[in-house]
Amino acid sequence: AREYWSLVATLATPRNETFEARLVGADGKKIQRLDIGSGQEAEDFKRALDTAAFTVNSVEAKPARRNPYPPFMTSTLQQEASRKFGFAPAHTMRLAQRLYEGIDIGGETVGLITYMRHEAIRPTDLARRPGDVKRMLEPDQAKLYELVWLRTIASQMESAELERTTVDIVAKVASRMLELRATGTVVKFDGFLTLYNEDQDDKSDEEDTNRLPSMSAGEALDKREIAASQHFTEPPPRYSEASLVKRMEELGIGRPSTYASILQVLRDRGYVRLEKKRLMPEDKGRVLTAFLENFFARYVEYDFTANLEEQLDQISNNEIPWKDVLRDFWRDFTGAVGEIKDLRVAQVIDALDAVLEPHLFPPRADGSDPRECPNCHTGRLGLKLGRFGGFIGCTNYPECRYTRQLAVGADGNGGGMRKLGEDPETGLEVTVRSGRFGSYLQLGEATKDEDGKAVKPKRASLPKGVSPDDIDLDRALRLLALPRTIGKHPDDGEDIIGGVGRFGPYVKHGKTYANIGADEDILSIGLNRAVALIEEKKLNPGKGRRFGADPGKQIGEHPQKGGMIVAKNGRYGPYVSHNGVNANLPNDKTPETITLDEAVALIDARAERGGGSTSRRKRPARGGDTPKKAAAPKATAKRSTKAATKPKKRAAASAAKAPRKSKKATAAE
């Protein structure tokens, strides 16, 4: 960030009309936006302006025209729907598809818009106003249809007529001459702006749309106020879905019909997350990008996709043979794979560790080595690969078992550990740490028993929804003390226990477990509530994840295929389900916030990719002729033990000896 200051004078004309003007020059030199870099410089200019005499030097008014926007094409429709309504591109395309397929009007299916994967997306009948069909459409469909209708009508309207006015002002003080400028844009004729104005991805304060009072050269102006304001430069904003679509279009990456699926994949696979309408890269995405840029750089260059698109166009025009394109691609790609496949995993990890160092190990505020292990202080931290993906670990493993997730925490220490204080009973230090499986609490450090065997310290997972930054010593000690006895069950006098398990907080009585609600605290839940949860679980043993599937929340009927869509919390995160097709929810959605349209889009996208629940695949129907025996699959791996094969061999031998049944007997059976 770079500091800079701006000076704005509030001035008044002889007719007592006020306006604002900015300092743009001093002593014959122009002052750019970042030129005043300190408060002292700004204060010097402010003192000079406080005693200056202001005079209008020149007034220049230039006419201008703003032409209407053309009808939507695929990319601009996705961008504008994202800006105006916050629709994801995949959601926009799903809505457009349904508008194209049409609705029932008087017993006839009528398409409302033209095909949405070409240019000039417009209503099929301009006389069919948005208000006429609003009651026949879902809310999001109605919004999109109105957007297409307004844009198309506006494209046929007159251009807007503007007047851009620039007033240059001179401020004289002693021997100095300061220059100020006031700008304004006045709409003389609204034209198409009466109906439609396109939103922008990033608002700019450069264009002043204020109306300036009437002034003429030579007029004296009165000073009302001089304001000096401090500012700091900011990095370019993160991409929104709309601005990323626009950028992909500029770079020639993909085609309009693929933009929605590209963005959906980025979110579905956890490469990015949507935060305040901005796409933020996740560690999973950073690691993948680092790998590709290091070992397959040619295939992630911007021009690779664009050039391939051009070749596909040439193939479709019979300008080049398609076999040549495939041969050239596979020759180079096979060579690239050949260079990588002989590398050891450690070499790949070391390369990624070096590339990701600025992100994984940012400089510390105290200037100490960001790779120094905060646990043993002698080992160095580095990128490691485990069963469940990448993590940060210490080089002194197994003596030092410090680990943390890849993400850097707010404490600037890599998010690995934060000291909360000492346990008054044991004197051991309580810390909150970030491990491979999430944040957890730890009491003390690992030790060794008399036989030299490692003794793990006591640990406790943080309940879902509890941030590591919000945890304090008192709450940490209470969580480490779990499980706790809540009280005696009134029926049999047995203890009811409360704790936190792999599926979250729970209460337990005998062999009955019951999960508590998301808005309930396991540390404060009372006996009456615990008894109620236990009894409810006994009456509905299938409810909850421990003894059956989560029944989920009903979202609504699928508008085309029928059947209820349900949102559930699964073992691997929340998802929506419809007729055996399951689709994971994006990171910014929960079963409580997902809408029907969003759920339909996720389900249909998953179905198109061949997704579904394997447990619900239909088995061949019994009856009739016995189906032909499927060809035996080729062996892909050896059995781990011979014992595992013996029961199957015996069963196969018995089956071979058994007499074959006739077709009639099989059918009857």
Quote the CA–CA distance of 509 and 514 in Å, as a whole number.
9
Quote the CA–CA distance of 627 and 621 in Å, as a whole number.
9
Asked, as a colleague might, if the bond just before 398 is cis with ω within 30 of 0, I would say yes
242 in Cβ contact with 83 (< 8 Å)? yes
Residue 337: count of CB within 10 angstroms of its CB: 11
Quote the CA–CA distance of 399 and 381 in Å, as a whole number.
14
Residue reference for tokens 């931290």: 381
In the sheet with 389-394, reading across from the earlier edge strand, the strands are: 381-386, 389-394, 403-404
Q: 282: closest CA among 263, 294, 265, 267?
A: 267
* Paired residues of 169 in beta bridges: 56, 180
Burial class (CB in 10 A: 0-12, 13-18, 19+), 90: buried
Quote the CA–CA distance of 232 and 238 in Å, as a whole number.
17
Residue 338: count of CB within 10 angstroms of its CB: 9
188: DSSP letter: E
559 in Cβ contact with 600 (< 8 Å)? yes
Residue reference for tokens 């495939």: 326
User: Who's near 127: CB < 8 A, 6+ residues apart?
Assistant: none
Quote the CA–CA distance of 248 and 305 in Å, as a whole number.
11
Reduced to 3 states, what is the DSSP secondary structure of residue 455? Answer: strand
Quote the CA–CA distance of 486 and 523 in Å, as a whole number.
9
Q: Which spans in 51-120 are helix H?
A: 74-85, 89-101
Q: 431: closest CA among 407, 447, 415, 412?
A: 415
Is residue 196 flagged as an active site residue?
Answer: no
Residue 375, both tokens: 């646990």
Give the active site residue among 115, 196, 513, 575: 115
Mark 479-509 as b/e (b = at least 16 C-beta within 10 Å).
bbebeeebeebeeeeeebbbebeeebbbbbb
382 in Cβ contact with 353 (< 8 Å)? yes
- Give residue 638's Cα distance to chain centre: 42
User: Who's near 131: CB < 8 A, 6+ residues apart?
Assistant: none
Quote the CA–CA distance of 92 and 601 in Å, as a whole number.
9
Measured CA to CA in angstroms, residue 533 lies from 341, 342, 505, 543, 551 at distances of 55, 57, 12, 11, 16
Residue 405, both tokens: 């997730």
Query: Read out DSSP for 312-369?
Result: HHHHHTTSS-HHHHHHHHHHHHHHHHHHHHTS-HHHHHHHHHHHTHHHHSPPPTT---
User: Who's near 156: CB < 8 A, 6+ residues apart?
Assistant: 68
613 in Cβ contact with 580 (< 8 Å)? yes
Catalytic residue set:
115
